Structure 1
Amino acid sequence: MTSIAITSFKGELPALTPRLLQPTNAQVARNVNLRKGSLRAESAPLPVTGITGVINPSSIYRYPFGNNGLGFWFAWGNGLQVNVAKSPLAKDSWSRVYWTGDSFPKMAPIGVATQGDGPYPSGFYRLGIPAPESAPIVAEDNGSTEAPMTLVNAAYIVTFVSAYGEEGPPSLASNIIARWDSANDQVGSRVKVQMPPVVSGPYNLVTKRLYRSESGGEYLHVADFNIAQEMWVDEVNSENLGIACPSLTWDMPDASMVGLVEMPNGIMAGFFDNTLCFSEPFHPHAWPIDYQIAFPDKVVGIGVTSAGLVVATTGRPRLITGTTPAAMADSAPDADRVCVGRGSVVDMGEYVAYASTEGLVAVSGGEPQLITEGILTPEQWQALNPASIHACRYEGRYLAFYDGGCFALAPGEGIEFIDAHAASSYYDIAASSLYLIQGSTISKWRGGSPMTYRWRSKVFEFPPGAANFSCGKVAADAYPVQVVVVADGATVLDIDIHDHQMFRLPPGYAEAREWQVEASGTTEVFSLQIANTPSELT
Structure 2
Amino acid sequence: MIRITPFGGETPKLDASLLQNGSAQRALDIKLEEGTLLPIRQPRVVEQLTALAMTIYLNGDEWLSWPGVVNVAPAPIAEDRLYVTGDGAPKIIAGDVTYPLAVPAPSRALNASLGAGAVDPDLSQTILYTYTWVTTLDEESEPAPLSNELLWSQGINVTLTGFIAPPAGRPIDRMRIYRSQTGALGDTLLYLIKERAVSTASFVDISGDNPIQEQLPSLDYNQPPAGLSGLVAMPNGMMAGFVGKRLYFCEPYRPHAWPEKYILTTDYEIVGLGVFGSAVAVMTVGQPYIVAGTAPDTMTMERIEVNLPCVSARGIVDLGYSIAYPSPEGLVTIGTGGAQLVSRALISRDQWQKLKPASFVAGSFAGRYMTAYTAGAVTSVLIIDLTGEQPFITYASDHATAMFNDIATGSLYYVRGTQILEWDAIDSPPGSYTWRSKLFVHGGHINYGVFQADADPVDGAAPAFTARLYADGALKATVTRPNDVCRLPSGFLARIWEVELVSNMKVRAIALASSPSELAL
TM range (shorter): over 0.9
TM-score (norm 2): 0.92
Aligned to 2:112: 138
Counterpart mapping for 1:84-483 below 5 A: 84-89=72-77, 92=78, 95-110=80-95, 113=96, 123-142=97-116, 144=117, 150-181=123-154, 188-215=155-182, 217-237=188-208, 240-306=211-277, 308-403=279-374, 404-411=379-386, 412-447=390-425, 448-465=428-445, 467-478=446-457, 479-483=463-467
Name the counterpart of 1:515: 497
Question: What's the CA shift string for 1:146-167, capped at 9, x where partnerless?
Answer: 9897211001121111111111
**Quick one: structure 1 residues 406 and 250, their matched pair in 2 at CA, closer, same or farther if it must change by over 3 Å?**
same
**For 1:163-222, what per-residue CA distance to the aligned partner results, in whole angstroms no more than 9, with x for missing partners?**
1111121122111111112xxxxxx11111124413424211111111111345110111
Q: CA deviation at 1:82?
A: 1.8
Q: Quote the sequence identity (%).
A: 33
- Structure-2 separation of matches of 1:49 and 1:366: 40
| Residue 45 of structure 2: aligned partner | 47
**Structure 2 counterpart SS, 1:382:** helix
Shift of 1:306: 3.1
Deviation per CA, 1:311-337: give whole Å up to 9, x if none.
000110000111111101111111121
Unaligned runs of 5+ in 1: 65-70, 114-122, 182-187
**Secondary structure class of the residue paired with 1:253:** coil
Query: How far, CA to CA, are the matches of 1:321 and 1:151 in structure 2?
Result: 48
Report the Cα distance in structure 2 between the residues aligned to 1:34 and 1:318, rounded to whole angstroms: 34
Tell me what 2:480 maps to.
496
321-330 or 125-134, which deviates more: 125-134
Instruction: Give the partner amino acid of 1:41.
Output: P
Structure 1 residue 238, shift from structure 2 partner? 9.5
One-letter amino acid matched to 1:14 = P
Q: Any conservation in 2 of the 1:307–1:365 contact (CA below 8 Å)?
A: no
- Distance in 2 separating the partners of 1:529 and 1:321: 53
Deviations 1:13-55 (A, max 9, x none): 1111101111121101111111222111112322222113xx4
Q: Who is 2:460 aligned against?
A: none
State how 1:16-55 maps to structure 2 within 5 Å.
Answer: 16-52=14-50, 55=51
The answer to whether the 8 A contact 2:364-2:412 is kept is: no
- CA–CA distance in structure 1, aligned partners of residues 66 and 324 of structure 2: 25
**Alignment partners' CA distance in 1, 2:391 and 2:48:** 36
- When residues 59 and 4 of structure 1 are mapped into structure 2, their CA distance, relative to the original with a 3 A threshold, is same
Runs of 4+ in 1 over 6 A off after TM superposition: 145-149
Any idea what SS the aligned residue of 2:153 has? strand
Task: Give the aligned CA root-mean-square deviation in angstroms.
Answer: 1.9
Aligned length in residues: 502
Does structure 1 retain, via aligned residues, the 8 Å contact 2:250–2:259? Answer: yes
2:235–2:278 CA contact under 8 A, matched in 1: no
Aligned counterparts of 1:290 and 1:338: Cα–Cα separation in 2: 27
> Which stretch shows the higher mean deviation, 268-277 or 222-231?
222-231
Per the normalisation by structure 1, the TM-score is 0.89
SS in 1 for 2:17: helix
Contact kept? 1:319, 1:365, Cα under 8 Å: no
Alpha-carbon distance in 2 for matches of 1:389, 1:401: 6
Instruction: Say if 1:307 and 1:350, in contact at 8 Å, map to a contact too.
Output: no
Contact persistence 1:133–1:196 (CA under 8 A): no
Contact 2:27 2:394 (8 Å CA) reproduced: yes
SS in 2 for 1:464: strand
- Answer whether contact 1:306 1:349 (CA < 8 A) is retained: no
Distance, in Å, in 2 between the alignment partners of 1:149 and 1:226 is: 36
CA contact (8 A) 1:148 1:189 kept: no
Unaligned runs of 5+ in 2: 458-462
The amino acid that maps onto 1:34 is: L
Q: Which residue of 1 aligns with 2:506?
A: 524
Confirm or deny: 8 A CA contact 1:222 1:236 kept in the other structure: no
**Structure 2 CA distance, aligned partners of 1:529 and 1:399?**
31
Q: Distance in 2 between matches of 1:486 and 1:363?
A: 42
SS at match of 1:304: strand
Q: Is the 8 A contact 2:163 2:200 kept in 1?
A: no
Task: Tell me whether 1:7 sits opposite 2:12 in the alignment.
Answer: no
1:512 Cα offset (Å)? 1.6
Q: How far apart, in 1, do the equivalents of 2:208 and 2:313 lie?
A: 55
Select the residue among 76, 97, 101 that pairs with 2:66: 76
